[in-house]
Structure 1
Amino acid sequence: MTSARLDVPALIDSRPIGGVQVLTFVLCFLIVLLDGFDTAAIGYIAPSLTTEWGVSRAALAPVLSAALFGLAIGALSAGPLADRYGRKAVLVAAVAEIGLACLASAFAGDLFQLSALRFLTGLGLGAAMPNAVTLTSEYGPSRRRALLTNMMFSGFPLGAALGGFLAAWMIPAHGWRSVLLLGGVAPLVLTVLLALLLPESVRYLVARGADPARIHAVMRRIAPGTPPAAAYGLGGPAAGAAQTAGLRLVLSPAYRLGSAMLWAAYFCGLVIFYALVNWMPILFREAGLDPRTAALIAALFPLGGIGAILLGALMDRFNADAMVAVGFALTALAVVAIGQVIGTVALLVPAVLIAGTLMNTAQSSLPALAASFYPTEGRATGVAWMMGIGRFGGIAGSFLVAELAGMSMPATFAVVAVPAVVAALAVIVKLFARRAALRAGPGAAPALGH
């Protein structure tokens, strides 16, 4: 029996999470895990570069930020490409590029070569992460979307922390190049798994007006026994209907201010993340800690990102914007505290872990916030542009600490805490701006997140 029209989001929401969603989640989690490992790897090998190549702290700034330029360009370009050609194709190509470029980085002979190869690695990293977020969000039921997206995105800080723990063991035994070798081989293995197993987003297929037979093949995996339909919908305009999409949707009047606030919040969060992940091992060494202890304590900061799982559950139950804003406000206080206890290891360990938990929890929740903010036609672009523009915050963070040389440790961490306050305010503005748009009438604020 063939039904006339099937509402895909309604069917996904009416069913428990099944095998297709679990498979998509696991594969996207692995993408983001490797993304976090490769992104943070350069910070953990930085002390070895200063020793082996005899370079100063300031000279390392271009190497530390090169991948971030690539991340920004990769994200800004990959979002529109994914909204046009599909999430899976962009993900497979991006992960393969990460592996090849990171593998080549292990054989760099000087700072210029390493910077160039880190830029190429960043192109793939920037394209992979937002599309993993988008795909996970689009397969998740609305009642668990923030939780699933945050759980998946927690792979990024876990990967960054894993890089720190592995670097503390691998560098003394095998040298800094071994970290980059591992960061190159693992994505190449994952590329094969993605090509064979990763499904395309069914919401994307519907939004693009794909062949109903192809959509039904996916729906049958999600809900066995589902009869074919003559047409499929997203609870809004009919598939293939003329409507605003991609960047035009993201910058349309109903979404413009919210988009700007998401960009600002993500920018500020990455100022903090990269300022601390890239520079804490060096700052802790300057404070008198031995290299191994400095690396291990610094690795606790990204490890705190597992707190995003709890916040994801709260976002599904309460006001998501308010939850994220509170997380950033508490982050500011926690980062200041690191500078106050940096001379005492017994206090520094919990201070770094608490600050990392708060900061990464708030930052890792922004992709879920963006994914629920935009509809399918512009979701990949919206998430990717938030991450892409936000990456310039990572670049600023990488240079920020270099420019603070000479300041006391408490003052350095106090300056780094300021962007968390700005991020909290940006999320609050997004909340009230969206409410104002909704009060203005249905025409001013299209349905969110279908």
Structure 2
Amino acid sequence: MPMPLSSAPSSASIFAADTASQAGSRLVVALCFATAMIEGFDIQAMGVAAPTMLPALGLSPAQAGWAFSASLFGLMLGAAIGGYFADIKGRRPVLILSTLIFGLMTIATALTHDYLLLLAVRVAAGVGLGGAMPMVVAISAERAAANARVLTVAFATAGMPLGAVIAGLLARFAHGPDVWQLIFWVGGAGALVLMLFQFWLLPETRAPMPPRAPAERVVPSRTGVMLLALTWTSIGLISLMLHLMLNWLPTLLTGKGAAPTTGMDALVLFNVGGMIGAVVLGGWVDRRGFRWAIPIACVALSILLLILAGAQSMVAMSLLGLGTGFCVVGSQFTLYGAASTFFRGAVRGRGVGSSVAAGRFGSALGPLVAGQLLALGVGSENVFRLLAPVALLAALTIFLLSYVAPRQDAVI
């Protein structure tokens, strides 16, 4: 039986023991949750805006794939840069600046009508989004009780699917050819309001380094190198599947003959399932370790994808959206929480940032691959079938990761 990452959390609190610290930690995690929610809204915005945005801008499926992936390439860059500066300047300023950038660039998306300018704006928005997510993971991990770190990170990052649900509901009930612009205006304005709350209320969880003090060099051991490789690969594979489905699920289901409203309903349920999965799997991993929890979820995902490929019933498609969201979104955020325990505090920003950056590479690749496959005439059902072996490969890499992951002390 693999050792758990920590002992089970007490029923009193998943935060620090004293009351004042608990209250402060709840506020911090709530701000992290809200940041992830706004990020989830923005990432989902491209997918739900597509039905009105693509014809308005005259984009082909291949161009849409690049447009979907543009922000995700920016996310990869932002995660790496943000993680590095967070260990030097502190988590708080990086998170506030990142939120400001993606808020402004999301509003700029609504004002864009040129394809190349759209790509540039989405890359810039992605840089801001990419810098925010490692801070959400690092800050929530550093304010959590040691025996509930994975659950706390999973809860904080579960704001992302909630934001995606809100974006989906907005697209579901708003009407008119300009709905896509409304979606980006709402997301950008929400980010700017949140940035003000971060500025007023968010404390620093790790003090910046003294002036002229060099950043601590990270020279991983052989075990550390293997740990990084497996962590990056696992997160990358899950992110590929997650963001492909976030961006293309309504379009893929419509290609199978589903009504547009069914595609939107399935996407909302996909994100609801993700929120449930993050909490359920996060609690399981804190108690029992991740050797079985996340690989089992990935194997279940592969089965559900094959069933979804052949599904014809509208109800079945919607319920399968719920199940696939539980598995893939829950696995992603739980793995983020587990990864935050692999790194010492002095390098946690860079460690988490590099892991998120690896995930963003998969995030960018997924929508792009789907767009190219559809442009080549590959049917929607076959896109789902091609994802099934990816889920099995993710299960294998995460299972191997559990054998080199630390039991108590950070490896890197």
- Structure-2-length-normalised TM-score: 0.90
**How far is 1:13 from its partner?**
5.3
Which structure has the greater CA radius of gyration?
1
Q: Which residue of 2 aligns with 1:76?
A: 80
Deviation string 1:266-290 (CA, Å, 9 cap, x unpaired) is: 1111111121111121122222233
Deviation string 1:227-284 (CA, Å, 9 cap, x unpaired) is: xxxxxxxxxxxxx9x9x946x25x4434211111111011111111121111121122
2:403 paired with 1:432: yes
**How far is 1:14 from its partner?**
5.0
Which of 163, 166, 179 is 2:167 aligned to? 163
Q: Which residue of 2 aligns with 1:100?
A: 104
Change (3 A) 1:346 1:296: closer
Q: Which residue of 2 aligns with 1:398?
A: 367
2:19 paired with 1:49: no
Which of 305, 311, 315 is 2:281 aligned to? 311
Q: Aligned partner of 1:97: which letter?
A: I
Q: Aligned partner of 1:447: which letter?
A: D
Q: Which residue of 2 aligns with 1:340?
A: 310
| Structure 1 gap ranges (5+) | 1-11, 211-239, 439-445
Quote the Cα distance in structure 2 between the aligned partners of 1:264 and 1:51.
36
**Percent of paired sites with the same residue:** 27
Quote the Cα distance in structure 2 between the aligned partners of 1:270 and 1:51.
28
Change (3 A) 1:90 1:171: farther
Quote the Cα distance in structure 2 between the aligned partners of 1:78 and 1:159.
22
Which of 311, 317, 326 is 2:296 aligned to? 326
Quote the Cα distance in structure 2 between the aligned partners of 1:198 and 1:351.
38
Q: Which residue of 2 aligns with 1:66?
A: 70
Quote the Cα distance in structure 2 between the aligned partners of 1:410 and 1:38.
27
2:113 paired with 1:109: yes
For the 8 Å contact 1:308–1:362, the answer to whether it is kept is yes
Q: Which residue of 1 aligns with 2:183?
A: 179
**How far is 1:434 from its partner?**
3.7
Secondary structure at the counterpart of residue 142 of structure 2: helix
Deviation string 1:195-223 (CA, Å, 9 cap, x unpaired) is: 1110100xx23x9589xxxxxxxxxxxxx
**How far is 1:137 from its partner?**
0.3
Q: Which residue of 2 aligns with 1:413?
A: 384
Quote the Cα distance in structure 2 between the aligned partners of 1:262 and 1:110.
38
For the 8 Å contact 1:68–1:395, the answer to whether it is kept is yes
For the 8 Å contact 2:65–2:369, the answer to whether it is kept is no
- Give the total of aligned pairs: 393
Q: Which residue of 2 aligns with 1:30?
A: 34
**How far is 1:168 from its partner?**
1.5
Quote the Cα distance in structure 1 between the aligned partners of 2:203 and 2:409.
26
For the 8 Å contact 1:160–1:302, the answer to whether it is kept is yes
Query: More relative contact order in 1 or in 2 (CA 8 Å, sep 6+)?
Result: 2
**How far is 1:367 from its partner?**
1.0
Q: Which residue of 2 aligns with 1:270?
A: 239
Q: Which residue of 2 aligns with 1:235?
A: none
2:355 paired with 1:386: yes
- Structure-1-length-normalised TM-score: 0.82
Secondary structure at the counterpart of residue 113 of structure 2: coil
Which of 367, 389, 392 is 2:336 aligned to? 367
2:295 paired with 1:291: no
Secondary structure at the counterpart of residue 407 of structure 1: coil
Change (3 A) 1:337 1:245: farther
Quote the Cα distance in structure 2 between the aligned partners of 1:41 and 1:449.
37
| Structure 2 gap ranges (5+) | 1-14
Secondary structure at the counterpart of residue 404 of structure 1: helix
